[in-house]
Amino acid sequence: MTSVSLDQVREVFSYLQVPARDTSWGGDFVKMARVESVDVNEVCPVIEFHIETKEWMNNMMGFVHGGCATTMADNISTWAIMADPRYWKKSSEGSDVLAAITNDFGVSRNLNLTFVRPIPLNSTIAFVVKVQSNTKRYTHLTFEIIDPKTKKQYVLGTHDKAKTNANAKI
């Protein structure tokens, strides 16, 4: 069993806060996120990210726009694979772990969101993401977007990814 601390995961994720890392607008969501908790385990790794919703995310009804929430889910849920202990076994050096993780990102082949209730603006939301399966070719993630205090669900979702790295080791 690989022992990985919350601080180690936060360190790797903090490398993304550097503006030059990801210049896409989707990368803005990653820069806004913080790792709140992580359970690195062999069965079903889980990671929780918190994000502050902002006024610019709004729809015409005064809530977070569904397209905005979908883009957040796409970008944030992908990072959940860092809770898979296999990325931490060869090295606990943050830059090595980051390289292994980003090498395995792949592309989305299915992203499904069910909107249970509107996401409020100017509030903290939690993305709780579970790595259900992470194989050499595919990754299957499930997630929920919730209020971290009340646990009220806003969104339930799944994210399936196909790996594009022919040399994937997992």
Q: What is the pLDDT of residues 103-142, one digit of tens each?
A: 888 999 999 999 999 999 999 999 999 999 999 999 999 9
- Sketch out the chain's domains with CATH numbers: 6-17+24-163 (3.10.129.10)
Q: One-letter amino acid identity for 84? A: D
Residues 6 or more apart from 4 whose CB is under 8 A from it? 38, 40, 85, 88, 92
The mean pLDDT of the chain is: 89
DSSP 67: H
Residues in the chain: 170
pLDDT greater at residue 20 or residue 146: 146
Residues 29-57 have pLDDT tens digits of: 888 899 999 999 889 999 999 999 999 99
Phi, psi at 21, each rounded to 5°: -60, -50
- Taken in order 104, 110, 116, 121, the sign of the CA dihedral is positive
Alpha-carbon span 70 to 86, nearest angstrom: 28
